[in-house]
Amino acid sequence: MAEDTDDRLALGKQRGSHGRQQDEGVLVIRTIAMPADTNPAGDIFGGWLMSQMDLAAGNMAARVAQGRAATVSVEAMQFLQPVKVGDEVTLYAALTHVGRTSIRVHVDVWARPRQSQNGKKVTEAEFVFVALDENGAPRPVFDDG
Ligand SMILES: CC(C)(COP(=O)(O)OP(=O)(O)OC[C@H]1O[C@@H](n2cnc3c(N)ncnc32)[C@H](O)[C@@H]1OP(=O)(O)O)[C@@H](O)C(=O)NCCC(=O)NCCS
């Protein structure tokens, strides 16, 4: 069934698709940046954003894996613009690769000031997950893997 990389990616997208596909991917999380999420300078703490990104990517990975999947790496994390308290923060996930046991998800984060019509991309990264069996060992994403 899933013989090569393109097949696996196509099958993974069938499992992972939910909501409306947009240029940036599928909208997985939309939330509001709150004062409790700030760093000492008063902007939003990068660690909070990274946690939201891991949640968004992990949500897609679990759909594709149809089971437990653990984050094994985060690559190319870029903080492009600061996020301010009150911004509407939207996380988009796009499945980019399905290996034998691994799943790669690109996450884009956009922030829109509370009273503005326009947002901009503030952060992006590539997350890699590994599908796990009941013992926490890597397992094939597809049964025939
Ligand atoms: C996930 C885990 C079981 C993988 O174990 P492992 O021995 O590295 O597994 P493997 O070497 O068989 O690699 C499994 C897959 O992950 C990929 N992989 C492993 N390390 C990787 C890395 N650093 N970057 C990208 N891909 C990686 C491999 O290429 C392989 O992909 P494929 O099967 O699609 O070809 C193990 O690393 C682990 O338990 N890590 C902790 C996970 C965790 O707790 N995450 C939450 C952090 S808070």
Nearest to 38 by CA among 91, 84, 88: 84
Give per-residue pLDDT as tens, 37-72. Answer: 999 999 999 999 999 999 999 999 999 999 999 999
Structural domains counted in the chain: 1
Task: Find the domain containing 70 and state its range.
Answer: 5-131
pLDDT for the residue 66: 96
Does residue 142 belong to any structural domain of this protein?
Answer: no
Q: How far is the CA of 114 from the centre of ligand 1 (A)?
A: 39
137 located within any domain: no
The answer on pLDDT for 18 being more than 80 is no
Ligand 1 mutation target, pool 126, 130, 133, 139, most atoms within 8 A of CB: 130
Question: Is 38 part of any domain?
Answer: yes
- For residue 68, list its beta bridge partners: none
What spacing in Å lies between the alpha carbon of 65 and ligand 1's midpoint? 14
Q: Concatenate the DSSP letters of all residues of the chain into one string.
A: ---SHHHHHHHHHHHH--S-EETTEEEEEEEE--GGGB-TTSSBPHHHHHHHHHHHHHHHHHHHHTS-EEEEEEEEEEE-S---TT-EEEEEEEEEEE-SSEEEEEEEEEEE-TT-S--EEEEEEEEEEEEB-TTS-B--SSTT-
Task: Give domain status of residue 141, yes or no.
Answer: no
CATH code (residue 52): 3.10.129.10
Q: Please state the pTM of the whole predicted model.
A: 0.94
In this model, does residue 35 exceed pLDDT 90? yes
